[in-house]
Structure 1
Amino acid sequence: MLESHNMQATLTFYTEILNFTCDAKLDDLSWLSLSKDAVEIMFCIPNEHRNIPKPIMSGSLYIKTNEVSSLWESLKDQCEICYPLEDFDYGMREFAIYDNNGYLLQFGQDL
């Protein structure tokens, strides 16, 4: 469960840019669930139990795909880039972007 201070922007980013489907959401947009292929992500607004001023995460979300090159071509001009498409010595072709909340999303494919 990831937090977002702007759920409408999050819904738009994931559905219109990353082509996720919104599977469920509360009417007030305080929670939503998104999916694409085998990936599922949930977001919620900050609440009294966990009220952090800015969403933080010490890591990233790593999404494996069989179409990393075409995904890069479709996203590279629409997102804030962390690093561009690259082949790595550890056997992956990958790139990374930031979502509208600042979360790091890495997309990779086995070489």
Structure 2
Amino acid sequence: MAESAVPILPSRNLDETFEFYSRLGFELQGAPIEKYRYLIIGRGSIELHFWDAPDVDPLTTDASCYIRVDDADALHREWKGVGIQSDPATGSRLMPPVDTDYGIREFALVDQSGNLLRVGSPLGRLSAVGDQASAPGSS
């Protein structure tokens, strides 16, 4: 079995969290929420866990994780197509991809519990539309 790490993030409402991530293509992988008041979801090789934290303040929590993908632009397009709405009350939003100075193309998603998911892929990979992103220092 390959080694991996799985983030355990707070959720102010596990049912709401499951609904949010279901729209993004995640599926239930653990026991039903009501059994343990805990949520395990997955999408491909991505696995996220959430614990029941009804008092978490989505505007002040610092919970986050990083997800590596093959094509950050393609995943951002997919998630944008779902229609994630910005919500000032929770800080929930989907931010556009940017090229970083550390060689990663990444975007960020903040869910309704304030969890920050940074999603990235190395610069220079082919995007789903066939454009080649240029790596730092290349022409």
Spell out the pairing of 1:22-101 with structure 2 (5 A cutoff). 22-26=28-32, 28=34, 30-46=37-53, 53-54=55-56, 57-58=61-62, 60-76=64-80, 77-79=83-85, 80-81=93-94, 83-101=95-113
The secondary structure found in structure 1 opposite 2:117 is: strand
Residue type matched to 1:35 in 2? Answer: G
Instruction: Tell me which structure has the larger Cα radius of gyration.
Output: 2
TM-score of the superposed pair, with normalisation by structure 1: 0.79
- Give the structure with the larger strand fraction: 1
Superposed CA RMSD in Å reads: 2.1
Deviating beyond 4 angstroms after TM superposition, the runs of 4 or more aligned structure 1 residues are none
Equivalent in the alignment of 1:49: none
The secondary structure found in structure 2 opposite 1:97 is: strand
TM-score of the superposed pair, with normalisation by structure 2: 0.65
CA distance in 1, matches of 2:48, 2:84: 20
Question: Which consecutive unaligned segments of at least 5 residues does structure 2 have?
Answer: 1-7, 86-92, 124-139
Q: 1:27 to 1:57 in 2, by over 3 A?
A: closer
1:21 aligns with 2:23: no
CA distance in 2, matches of 1:8, 1:31: 10
- Percent identical residues: 30
CA distance in 2, matches of 1:11, 1:67: 24
